[in-house]
């Protein structure tokens, strides 16, 4: 392509870029109307320029697209459609980026700046530019400039508020990565430690200290972070706890990890937490004691790790790593665990545990107790998710067919009572399932009474009875197929 023709194409692309980024995007999906910019033409123009080796022009256009495009995304209201369209152009820009006439250090630093300016994930393609085979000298040059900027920000002094700390985290991450790539990992580690105090990015610093074997300093910094846990989100706090357990384990001490898993189970009881505790404590002298105390907690709500220690059930584990506990925590825990909601949560875990371990008698006993103590009418769906009851009924079909049938009948009635014709087929399938259970148990004679009782209860719902007949005859229509 001749230079004049290429110049015209560059001008046309710049005109299209400015026109399409000047629109204010919006979309009303309910009415099917909106104003979403179409970037297809610009995408084709950029691709043509790359194929004609106009790399510098594409880079310049790309930089303008980043500036104007991110501003457009910030003011858009179209469920991300504009962001997606702009993002589709970025891989083309990146193809030209590392082939432009700019110095390598400028290319690398420019890509880092693009990523730092992007709050919407539009420019993620520039991560590929960072993966280019840059030499250590190029990374070192970029690191020096990033450090100069960070030092300038640090030199302003004053305590950082939440937004300022967040704004400093990404540049710090990019600088640490650049130092690592430049072969200056010791500097990167020292920077991470220094920045932890300012940005409260403690996990990043602790992880690096552990990697280089500075365990005492890592432990001290992790505990400093936990003392300031009131200013940290739950994720970093949890990570610091885990890192302290890793440090203890590296010294041959498994107890902090077991204690931490136990505490997390007590704070948020579920089947996964129970099984995780059992697995973590496996092959230790505390395995049986921990199982017994965990089950007692599920039954009573008493926290063995917080209750006063007695000879009968002394808690064998140390205090796990974590934020300092207020003196009033025990009383608050007792009040919370005494609530009906928490009792229901714990007893459901007992039911699930009984099913997993094949103790169906125990699972049904806790199910009955939870229903009777719930304060709602027996058979109400207020305390049990429908899928939970279905799982229980399915599990006990062989060992306790009467109970399984009763639960399936209950769910069939509850589904039919929703007065939603779209649910009627599910209720009918439930009845067919009951018939199958009776047939397997050799109790076919009981089936007519079950289906007659269901028909009598819902005799006014002619459509339900029609679907029931179709289903039981095996002629029910299936979605997507014509009869």
Mean pLDDT, rounded, for 144-169: 79
In the chain, the number of structural domains is 3
Q: How confident is the model at residue 481 (pLDDT cuts 50, 70, 90)?
A: very low
| Residues 125, 17 within the same domain | yes
| Residues 401, 465 within the same domain | yes
Q: What is the domain range of residue 21?
A: 1-132
Query: Which residue, 301, 319, 338, sits at the end of a domain?
Result: 338
| Residues 111, 20 within the same domain | yes
* Domain annotation covers residue 105: yes
Query: Which residue, 99, 132, 165, sits at the end of a domain?
Result: 132
Two tokens, residue 422:
């779209």
How far apart are the C-alpha atoms of 292 and 237, rounded to whole Å?
A: 29
Note the pLDDT tens digit of each residue in 281-327. Answer: 998 998 999 999 999 999 998 888 887 765 455 788 999 999 877 77
How far apart are the C-alpha atoms of 317 and 255, rounded to whole Å?
A: 7
How far apart are the C-alpha atoms of 1 and 435, rounded to whole Å?
A: 77
| Residues 5, 127 within the same domain | yes
| Residues 19, 106 within the same domain | yes
Q: CB–CB of 61/93 below 8 Å?
A: yes
> What per-residue string of b and e applies to 165-175 under the rule 16 or more CB within 10 Å gives b?
beebeebbbbb
Q: Does 159 have pLDDT greater than 50?
A: yes
* Domain annotation covers residue 308: yes
Query: Which residue, 72, 100, 132, sits at the end of a domain?
Result: 132
* Domain annotation covers residue 155: no
Note the pLDDT tens digit of each residue in 60-93. Answer: 999 999 999 999 999 999 999 999 999 999 999 9
Note the pLDDT tens digit of each residue in 338-394. Answer: 887 888 889 999 999 999 999 999 999 999 988 887 654 444 455 677 888 999 999
| Residues 316, 393 within the same domain | no
| Residues 9, 101 within the same domain | yes
Q: CB–CB of 134/100 below 8 Å?
A: no
* Domain annotation covers residue 426: yes
* Domain annotation covers residue 243: no
Q: Which of 114-123, 161-170, 197-206, 474-483 has the lowest mean pLDDT?
A: 474-483
pLDDT of residue 224: 95
Mean pLDDT, rounded, for 403-413: 94
Note the pLDDT tens digit of each residue in 328-341. Answer: 777 888 788 888 78
Q: CB–CB of 172/199 below 8 Å?
A: yes
| Residues 49, 112 within the same domain | yes
How far apart are the C-alpha atoms of 410 and 388, rounded to whole Å?
A: 13
* Domain annotation covers residue 241: no
Mean pLDDT, rounded, for 9-36: 95
Q: Go through the chain and tell me how many residues it has.
A: 483
Residue from 67, 50, 68 nearest 10 by CA: 50
* Domain annotation covers residue 332: yes
How far apart are the C-alpha atoms of 164 and 169, rounded to whole Å?
A: 9
Residue from 101, 116, 179 nearest 147 by CA: 179
pLDDT of residue 333: 82
- What percent of the chain is predicted at pLDDT more than 90? 74
Higher pLDDT, 47 or 309: 47
| Residues 122, 19 within the same domain | yes
* Domain annotation covers residue 259: yes
| Residues 308, 398 within the same domain | no
| Residues 333, 454 within the same domain | no
Can you tell me whether residue 392 is helix, strand or coil?
helix
| Residues 316, 426 within the same domain | no
């Amino acid at each position: 392509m001749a230079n004049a023709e290429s110049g015209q194409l560059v001008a046309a692309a710049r005109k299209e870029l400015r026109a399409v980024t000047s629109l204010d995007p919006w979309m009303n999906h309910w009415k099917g109307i909106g104003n979403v910019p179409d970037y297809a033409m610009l995408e084709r123009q950029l691709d043509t320029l790359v194929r004609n080796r106009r790399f510098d022009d594409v880079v310049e256009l790309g930089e303008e697209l980043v500036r104007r495009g991110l501003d457009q995304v910030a003011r858009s209201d179209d469920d991300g459609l504009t962001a997606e369209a702009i993002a589709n152009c970025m891989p083309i820009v990146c193809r030209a980026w590392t082939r432009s006439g700019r110095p390598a250090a400028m290319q690398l630093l420019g890509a880092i700046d693009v990523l730092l300016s992007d709050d919407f994930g539009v420019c993620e393609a520039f991560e590929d530019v960072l993966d280019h085979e840059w030499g250590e000298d190029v990374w070192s040059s970029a690191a020096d400039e990033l450090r100069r900027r960070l030092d300038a920000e640090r030199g302003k002094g004053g305590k950082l508020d939440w937004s300022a700390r967040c704004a400093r985290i990404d540049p710090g991450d990019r600088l640490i990565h650049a130092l690592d790539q430049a072969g200056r990992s010791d500097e990167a580690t020292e920077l991470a430690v220094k920045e932890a105090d300012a940005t409260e990015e403690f996990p990043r610093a602790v992880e690096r200290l552990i990697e280089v074997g500075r365990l005492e300093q890592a432990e001290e910094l992790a505990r400093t972070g936990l003392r300031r846990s009131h200013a940290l989100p739950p994720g970093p706090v949890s990570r610091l706890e885990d890192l302290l357990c890793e440090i203890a384990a590296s010294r041959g001490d498994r107890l902090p990890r077991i204690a931490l898993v136990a505490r997390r189970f007590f704070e948020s009881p579920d089947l996964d937490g129970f099984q995780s505790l059992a697995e973590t404590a496996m092959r230790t002298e505390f395995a049986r004691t921990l199982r017994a105390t965990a089950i007692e907690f599920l039954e009573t709500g008493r926290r063995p790790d917080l209750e006063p220690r007695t000879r009968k059930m002394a808690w064998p584990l140390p205090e796990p790593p974590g934020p300092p506990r207020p003196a009033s925590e025990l009383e608050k825990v007792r009040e919370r665990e005494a609530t009906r909601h928490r009792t229901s949560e714990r007893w459901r875990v007992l039911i699930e545990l009984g099913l997993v371990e094949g103790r169906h008698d125990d699972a049904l006993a806790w199910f009955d107790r939870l229903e009777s103590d719930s304060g709602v009418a027996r058979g109400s769906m207020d305390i049990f998710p429908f899928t939970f009851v279905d799982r229980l009924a399915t599990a006990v079909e062989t060992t306790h067919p009467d109970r399984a049938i009763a639960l399936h009948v209950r769910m069939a009635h509850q589904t039919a009572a929703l007065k939603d014709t779209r649910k009627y087929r599910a209720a009918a399938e439930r009845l067919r399932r009951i018939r199958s259970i009776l047939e397997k148990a050799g109790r076919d004679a009981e089936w007519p009474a079950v289906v007659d009782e269901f028909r009598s209860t819902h005799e006014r719902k002619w459509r339900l009875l029609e679907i029931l007949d179709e289903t039981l005859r095996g002629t029910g229509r299936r979605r997507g197929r014509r009869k």
